[in-house]
Amino acid sequence: MMFIISNEVQHKDGGPVMIVTGVASGMVECRWYDGFSVRREAFREDELAATSGSRLAG
């Protein structure tokens, strides 16, 4: 699945809704607010699922 910057995604195992801030070499960088601060982490594309309403590339 190809994501683009500004897509809303969620880890397939659950967790917060995140915003895609970068995509490179099969990795997707995401940011989200955890109630205290903005968090940032990179995930493999196959670990994430688009939320409803997200436009996907391709």
51: DSSP letter: P
- pLDDT of res. 27: 96
Bridge partners of 41, per DSSP, are 30
Amino acid 21 reads T
What pLDDT is recorded for position 2? 85
The structure's pTM equals 0.86
DSSP-assigned beta bridge partners for residue 50:
9
Kindly report, residue by residue over 3-56, the tens digit of the pLDDT: 999 999 999 999 999 999 999 999 999 999 999 999 999 999 999 999 976 666
pLDDT score at 20: 97
- pLDDT (0 to 100) of residue 57: 59
